[in-house]
Structure 1
């Protein structure tokens, strides 16, 4: 996934690697000049002026190398940042596009709050990982190998000190990484839970405050937050032992190196002049080796969190979408609907919600669907615009199996208005044009008149350009439902599904909407799902559902006379109205 994403930026990647090589080269080059300077100082054959001239030349060379290394470091940081930003932006966009192809079933599989964390926090972790790769993780092995080889060349007698130091540091790093791994893996899961709690609390703020549940919400949040704090604290404790351990190992290595060099000097006078300068370079190379291992270990620990996030993003991108649309031309269908022995069960549910449902609706009919709560009314409605596919059986619109028509055909011919009116922040026109992107002012006016939304929209100073706050919080429930109905009918669909979408309207407004439907949408097949008999009493046909089955079908008068289930619902509601 990352390799493919980075492949688009080959020029930047090449520049990042070249600048890194310049930086590493400058770092490895500097100790050799320190050796030369000490060798000049120990050379008794040179005069004082000769020593000064040579040392000055080496000093200028050191400054030039340092400047070159600095320039390489700056350019490396810039190119690494550009790669990280560009790739993370691409991943975020690709992840969002992928999510748009998900069906309801796919979204429920991941959960919405989980997907939000993946697109934000996980992408940020990958961005940090890319920065580390091009700034540290690639530089570390180059610096380690270079310093290791040059240290042995500089002081071949002390090669074993390097080996022992490397082994000890690697052991400490490995044990630390093993201890930290589970904590980093737990971070993202806890972030998902914390985000979910915060999201539920903010969305349900009215419920929380109405039932005085602030303390309970705080307790739930504190529990997850404390778990995250505990994992962070454990990582901090491990770090607090790592750094002192690395320091002790490096200082012991330096002490042993100086001890053995002093032994060599006492045994050989010529060693002092020829190799004394090498001890400083050797120590610097040891420090570079230690730095490379420490940085590699520490960055690998942080990178492990990035790799976990990478896996989570890959899981989204590699998900096989459960609902595939045929690549066929868009077409106009008539409003006939047919269910042929349809059964449906939600994912992970053992019991089907719909059981062997069969019926046919002719184009232009107004059909009501009633039944007790949990009878399967909304589930049935969601199969018509193919929000779900049936577990068995066939759903046809215009005589076509929905599994063999394009997504554009469904969008063009079918509209569904849900009970929970969902509006997006922006303007009223922006929300209405989600139903038809090129909707004109006259089309918005007509739809608003039918849905009785013009009643309040025309009173707003900016009318269709009036501001809509997040989730439409600056409008009442009835106003939001009427705007949702307007959005559903603005494209003049062949089939309009109203899933209890007038529940928040008063009796007068609901009657006006029903009358407008009868007059203005005569050619539209209208399906009204309702809890109230009064909402469907005027329908051409009423389907009565009970426990996932259609137990009766007919108009109001026929059902009152023949259906026990319908009679019970009607009698109960009539008694309430009379009371």
Structure 2
């Protein structure tokens, strides 16, 4: 995944590595000049003017090295930031496109809140990891190795001090990382839960306020937030202990080096000049070693969050969609529908929702589906446009098994208006064109008149360009349903499925919609899922479901005469109406 995303930015990566090498080289080169400056100052054979000349030349060289290192650092930061931005943008697009290939079952497996966190927070973690990789993580081992070798070359007698300091710092870093690991692993899971609570609370704000549940929702959110705070504080406390420990170790190492060098100078005055010059370089190299280990430890701990996020994104990208289409060849299908011994169970459900369903529908027929709540009506409807695949049996449209029909052919043939009317932010026209991207104003007018949406659209000053707020909150339930029906019929499908999509309409509006269907969509196979039998009483055929089984089929009159389940539903509803 990462190799594919990074591979096309080889030029940027090369630039980042080169500028990093310049920065590391400048950092390692500076202490050697400090040694030369101190050696000149300790040289008793040189005149004052000679010392000034040499120190001036070394000073100029130090400034040049510093400028080169600064330029390298700036360029490295720019290239690292660009790599992080472009690679993350590509990953985000890849992930979004992958999610678009998911079936309903795949989305249910991850949950929408979880996918949102992966697309946002996890992507931010990956972006930080990429930035750190090309700015710090690769630089750290180069700086460590370079400083280690140069420190031993500078004062070979003190090699063991470097080894002891490195071992102690590595031990402290390892213990700290081990203590922080579980906390970093918990961060993303807590972020998922917090995002889910916030999303549900904001979406259900009216319900929360209606039932005065603000305190309970705040308590639930506070519980998860406090857990996240606890993990963050634990990491902060470990960091608070790490830095002083690193400082103590490095200062003790420097103190030991100074003491030992002073004994060398006392014993042998002949080496005083070289040793005094070398001690400053040695100290700087020790600080660079310490800095490399500290930064490596800290960055590796932060990188662990990035690696967790990479794993979460890889998990999405590696998913093989549970639904695939055998062909890409488009074909024209008619409105005939056939179920042959179809059963279906949702993932992780022990009992099937539909059991051995068989029926057929001729092109142009209006078919109603009724049954008690939970009988499987919506599930049956969702199998026709292949939102789910049956567990067993065959679903055919136009005489073709839908598993062997191209995606485009199926989508052009079938429109489904779901039970919950969902509108997207934008305009009315933008929402309607989701049904047909190239829909003309005449086509929108025709569909809106059939769905009885034209009556309120025409009253809006902007007409089809009127704004649609988030989730269509500026429209009533009935208006949203009529807009959803308009979107469903705008492409003139051969099969139109209405999943209880007139439940929010008053009796007059529902009658007008049904009359328009009979008049304008006589050639369209219409499947109406309804709670009210009055919505399907004039259908050519009515399917009666009970506990996932098809228990009766016929017209209204036939079912009243022959089906006990249908009679009970009809009698109950008629009694309510009376």
Q: Note the C-alpha offset of 1:266.
A: 1.1
2:405: which partner in 1?
405
1:225 and 2:230 correspond? no
4+ runs of 1 displaced by more than 3 Å? none
Measured after TM superposition, the shift of residue 3 of structure 1 is: 2.0
TM-fit CA distance, 1:537: 0.1
Counterpart of 2:216 in 1: which secondary structure? helix
Number of residue pairs the alignment of both structures matches: 578
Kindly indicate whether residue 48 of structure 2 is the aligned counterpart of residue 42 of structure 1.
no
- Which shows bigger deviation, 266-275 or 181-190? 266-275
Is 1:482 aligned to residue 469 of structure 2?
no
d(CA) in 1 for partners of 2:90 and 2:476? 39
Aligned to 1:278, what secondary structure does the other structure show? Answer: helix
Q: Deviations over 1:405-441 (max 9, x none)?
A: 1110111000000111000000000000000000001
- What SS does the corresponding residue of 2:209 show, helix, strand or coil? helix
Correspondence for 1:287: 287
Unaligned runs of 5+ in 1: none
Q: Distance in 1 between matches of 2:246 and 2:169?
A: 6
Shift of 1:330: 1.2
Give deviations 1:265-308, integer Å, cap 9, x for gaps. Answer: 11111110232200100000000000000000001111110110
Q: Secondary structure at the match of 1:423?
A: coil
1:17 matches 2:20: no
Distance 1:463 1:344 in 2: 43
**1:230-245 correspondence to structure 2 within 5 Å:** 230-245=230-245
- 1:52 is paired with a residue whose SS is helix
The gaps in structure 2 that reach 5 residues or longer are none
The 2-side partners of 1:397 and 1:4 are apart by 40
Alignment of structure 1 residues 78-477 onto 2, 5 Å: 78-477=78-477
CA drift at 1:325: 1.0
The answer as to 2:551 corresponding to 1:555 is no
Q: Do the aligned residues in 1 keep the contact of 2:261 with 2:275 (CA within 8 Å)? A: no
Q: Secondary structure at the match of 1:367?
A: strand
Q: What's the C-alpha RMSD, in Å, of the aligned pairs?
A: 0.5
For the residues of structure 2 that align with 1:479 and 1:452, how far apart are their CA atoms?
9
Deviation at 1:328, TM superposition (A): 2.7
SS in structure 1 opposite 2:90?
Answer: helix
1:80-116 deviation line (CA, Å, top 9, x unaligned): 0000000000000000000000000000000000000
Deviation track 1:425-482 (CA, whole Å, cap 9, x = no partner) reads: 0000000000000000110000001000001001111110000000000000000000
CA distance in 2, matches of 1:2, 1:298: 22
Structure 1: how far apart are the matches of 2:325 and 2:256? Answer: 71
Structure-1 separation of matches of 2:560 and 2:304:
67
CA offsets 1:226-278 (integer angstroms, 9 cap, x no match): 00000000001100100000000000000100011011111111110232200
TM-score norm. by structure 1 comes to: 0.99
